[in-house]
Structure 1
Amino acid sequence: MQPFDLELNNINYAVFPEGNETYTIYKNGKEYLQIQKDDGEQWIKFDGETGTPIFEIDEEVNTLGKLIEAYKEEPEEEEEDEEEN
């Protein structure tokens, strides 16, 4: 999956999939946080210095996670560069 952009509350976030349901999030061009889908509907963030998961409910993280899920469910638009003769 390629990196993609999301917008939340008029703030632009760049999302970089890392594999295994883990994503690195950039906010306003700077690395902001890393999140991973947990069981159910919860998303967890990782401590930026230690890389350990922080198991507390974070509305921003959960909202970003829901936006990521919605983005993944949208079919990718195929570019139609093929010319038929």
Structure 2
Amino acid sequence: MQPFDLTFNNVDYAVFPEGDETYTIYKDGKEYLQIQKDDGEQWIKFDKETGTPVFEPDEEVNALGKLIAAYKEEPEEEDEDNEEEF
């Protein structure tokens, strides 16, 4: 999966998939946080200093996670267009 952009609360984020349901999020051109899908609809973030999971609820992290999940479910129209050209 290629990096993609999301907007939440009028803030633009760049999302870089790292594999295993883990994503690095950039905000204002700087690395902002790393999140991973947890059980159910919950998402967890990782501590910037230690890289360990932080299990306390975070509204922004869950909102970004839901946007990522929705983005992954949408068919990528660009790929369909490229297939027609071959």
Determine the C-alpha separation between the residues in 1 that align with 2:28 and 2:10: 11
Superposed CA offset, 1:2-44 (max 9, x none):
0000001110000000000000000011000000000011000
Structure 2 segments unaligned to the other structure (5+ residues): none
Equivalent residue pairs, number: 83
Question: What is the alpha-carbon root mean square deviation over aligned residues?
Answer: 1.2
Corresponding position of 1:29: 29
User: TM-score scaled by structure 2?
Assistant: 0.92
Task: Flag as ranges the 4+ runs of structure 1 deviating above 4 A.
Answer: none
Q: Which structure 2 residues correspond to residues 33-72 of structure 1 after superposition, within 5 A? A: 33-72=33-72
Percent sequence identity over matched residues?
81
Decide which structure has greater helix share: 2
TM-score under structure 1 length normalisation? 0.93
